[in-house]
Structures are given as structure tokens and as C-alpha cells.
A and B are shown apart, each in its own frame.
Chain A
């Protein structure tokens, strides 16, 4: 499907009706987290076009594992939304799209933000996803499975249900890396891992490399509901490079 140019390189700072909230990465995080590039075999740029063509022929990348688009509404919870989106993508891969437990981004954001609009650091989001996890979204299906240990998608003032920790730790990220380069980001995406990035003060989840008019772009899942191309946008190389300042690749989530 052709990409509408208006969805490429969207300047988030020029979207006043939507809220951002990415505060970057903590000073020590880049040293604390293991670098993806040190573990993976980085795919050189000379091979990207062939690999993307193979991905296209197979029907797509991690975008095929996205089961819904998040909507942070008026809260600065983009980091929690992008982190939760990446978790759901890994759930879809590991357990199947029909078995994905939708997650409550606010259950994560309340631990990494300071106020409804403060925003949060991506590194804090990954730390919390690893250490304490995320609660399921408040849906009838999740209530049937997890009783009251669920939360809505938004609502800073929503209290945590009693005993929430036991359920949240069932939805942790157990393996992840920090990515330090454009080559690392593209390699991760060719390996169909979601990549949580931040740019222009907004966090998004990269899901697929593509070529548009001969130039590489990366498709991302945003958390602004039915924004852009049915919830998705596309970054070209300049913005991918900007995103490479702090990016994370979650690789595995807990087994239920």
C-alpha cells in the first residue's frame, strides 16, 4: 500500500492537539543496559534493501504483530504506551495474536511519571517493565482472568488495585537491550523486534523498515489513537538517526 507523504517525518511539536512526554534517558542508562550491537550480528546497510524486499514478500515485519493502536489521550504517557505496545507485540509473537493480553499503559506511567503531564524517561519505562511489569487493561475478558487486578488505559488518578504487584509481574520484559546506532535499529527491525524510541519529546514504537521512492523509512505505531495513517507514521533517515540517541529493543516477555 502506498505511503501518503504527509505521514512521513511528522514533526510532533507541530501537533498541538496531541500530548507528548518523552524525557529521554537517564544519565547512566546507556552504560547500565547491554548494547544490542554487542550481541547481534549487525546487518550492514548494503544488505538492507534485499532484506526489506524479503520482508515485504513475506507480508511485513513486526507490524503484522500489532493487535491494537494505543491512545494516551491528554496524558503525557507516551513512554508507557510505547513500552506496553512493544510488550504486546512480543506477546503476539510468543503466544499468538489471539492470546495477547492487552495492557494498561497508565499502570506503568504512574510509576515512571510525576504528574499526568510530566512525561517520563524511556529507560525508567524499561526498568519498570523488567522489575515489576504492567497490569492488564480493564476489559471484561481481563476481569474474568485477573479479577480486579486490572487498570484502564488512561487516568492518572486511578488507584492501583490491592495486590496489583502479583499480577503485574506476570507481564514483564525479561530480555532487552539498548540500541546505540541506526544500524542497530535497522538490524533489530529486520529481526522483527519492536524498537521503543524517543524523538521530538515523544516516544513511539518502531515496527518495520520499508522503502519509499528508493529511500528507507521506518513505520512506527504511535499512541495517539486514529492519528496519521490509521495510527501509524513513518520516519526517514534524519529522524531515525535522531531516534538512535536512545532506543530500546525488548526481546522476550514472561511466560504465563
Chain B
């Protein structure tokens, strides 16, 4: 390996370490609209959670999601279809051991899930991190 190649590899390693230190993730970003699914138990709601959800439906967060054509769906973990069957979107990604939970889905593929962040801003930041800017 030439001295020049070694220098480039060193720079790349340094850049990667700096990126990870700044909170980067190895999950690749995906193109196109995401399904942003929030699963919760409506019997265990809280005012703070309610404020987060309603804020995501109004104002800047809602405008951002709509502008990027991301689809936000908020479901109870027991949500049913018309026929009383479990909602297919929930079935696909169960179980949900920790509620409320945020799932980011691209097409049919789950690209990220974690406990729902505490603020709408943090939810939007995660969406941007994994998809639309």
C-alpha cells in the first residue's frame, strides 16, 4: 500500500469516527416517502404524549410530513379493521414490547424502530435522519 493510500484510509477512518461521535448511524437513508407509524396503548395515554401526537398533526411538523409525502399513522396496539381483525400494518411488525413506539417503514420494509421520542421535533429529526430532508 502506498503512502498516499494509507493517508486516504486514515482520513476516512477519522471522518467515520467523527461522524459516529456526532451521533451518526450506519442505517442508510432511504429515498421516497416513509410510513411513520406510532403504536400506543390508548388506555395508557398521558398529556405529554397527547401533545406530541396532536402537534405532529398540526403546524410545522404536519406541513413537513405532508410536504415530503410521509404518511403518519397513529394506532392503538389493538387497532381493528372493519371486520374486527387486527390491523395488517400492526400485524406485520409485532410484537410491541415497549409502548409507545415509533416505526419508520419504507414500502414494506421496516428501516427503524425505537421508543417514541418525547417531542415532535425529535420525531421529525428521526424521520429526516432516515429519510426525507
Contacts and interface: CB of A to CB of B under 8 A. Distances in A.
Interface of A: 39-41, 43, 51, 54-55, 58-62, 64-65, 92-98, 133, 166, 169-170, 172, 174-175, 190-193, 251-252, 254-256
B57 A191 contact: no
B79 A97 contact: no
Contact of B57 (A39, A43, A93): A93
Given A54-B51, A93-B53, A191 B89 contact: no
B47 interface: yes
A166 B49 CA distance: 34
Contacts of A169: 82-83
Nearest to B52: A58
Contacts of B73: 94-95
A252 B82 contact: no
B82 to A, nearest CB: 4
B127 to A, nearest CB: 15
Contacts of B133: none
A59 B78 contact: no
B25 interface: no
Contacts of A59: 54-55, 58-59
B54 A255 contact: no
27 contacts: A39-B43, A40-B45, A51-B47, A54-B48, A54-B51, A55-B51, A59-B54, A60-B54, A64-B54, A65-B57, A93-B53, A93-B57, A94-B73, A97-B58, A169-B82, A172-B82, A190-B50, A192-B53, A193-B42, A193-B50, A252-B42, A252-B76, A254-B79, A254-B80, A254-B81, A255-B79, A255-B81
A255 B87 contact: yes
A252 B78 contact: yes
Interface residues of B, number: 32
Nearest to A251: B42
Given A55-B47, A252-B76, A255-B79, 5 more contacts: A65-B57, A174-B78, A175-B78, A191-B46, A193-B45
Contacts of B79: 94, 174, 252, 254-255
Contact of B54 (A65, A170, A251): A65
B75 interface: yes
B99 interface: no
A136 B78 CA distance: 24
A39 B43 CA distance: 6
A93 B82 contact: no
Contacts of A94: 73-75, 79
B66 interface: yes
A221 B37 CA distance: 29
B128 to A, nearest CB: 19
B72 interface: yes
A175 B47 CA distance: 19
Contacts of B57: 64-65, 92-93, 96-97
Contact of B43 (A98, A174, A251): A251
A65 B53 CA distance: 11
B117 to A, nearest CB: 15
A192 B44 CA distance: 13
A192 B80 contact: no
A57 to B, nearest CB: 9
B47 A190 contact: yes
